[in-house]
Amino acid sequence: MGLAIWGFQKAAKFVKSLKNKHTMTDFGSNFRKLREWAGLSQEALGASLNVSASVINRIENNKRRLDIQILQNLANALQLDVALVVAVMFKGKSALPKQRAEKALPVPA
């Protein structure tokens, strides 16, 4: 078996293990918790990510899928490591530091 096929099969098994409905619906809720932890409105976060507030709303209500680019941009906007952002998407608020940085986030004009 080739390495690429083995990697695909391992990834497919992992995704299958995530098909628990509870896990999948928590992404939007956890996205919202992360935004609120950062003290940002949907509008402010949308501006930081160069998307509309309605996109943020749809993500938080599990009506739009997250993609890796949004997660990377979110990590950059919140000045967090992308691994921490992914951990929050899976584990929820418990993965966040107790206090957020006091540094103000730049919001594009």
Using CA atoms, how far apart are residues 80 and 26, in angstroms rounded to an integer?
20
Using CA atoms, how far apart are residues 58 and 90, in angstroms rounded to an integer?
18
Q: For 96, which DSSP code?
A: S
Q: What is residue 23's predicted lDDT score, i.e. its pLDDT? A: 47
Residue 76 has pLDDT above 90, yes or no: yes
pLDDT, mean of residues 22-49 = 86
pTM over 0.75? The answer is no
Using CA atoms, how far apart are residues 46 and 107, in angstroms rounded to an integer?
9
Token pair, residue 56, equals 């943020």
Q: Could you give the percent of the chain with pLDDT greater than 90? A: 41
Neighbours of 34 (CB within 10 A): 24
Looking at 1.10.260.40, 1.10.1060.10, 3.40.50.2300, 3.30.70.360, the CATH number of the domain 20-95 comes to: 1.10.260.40
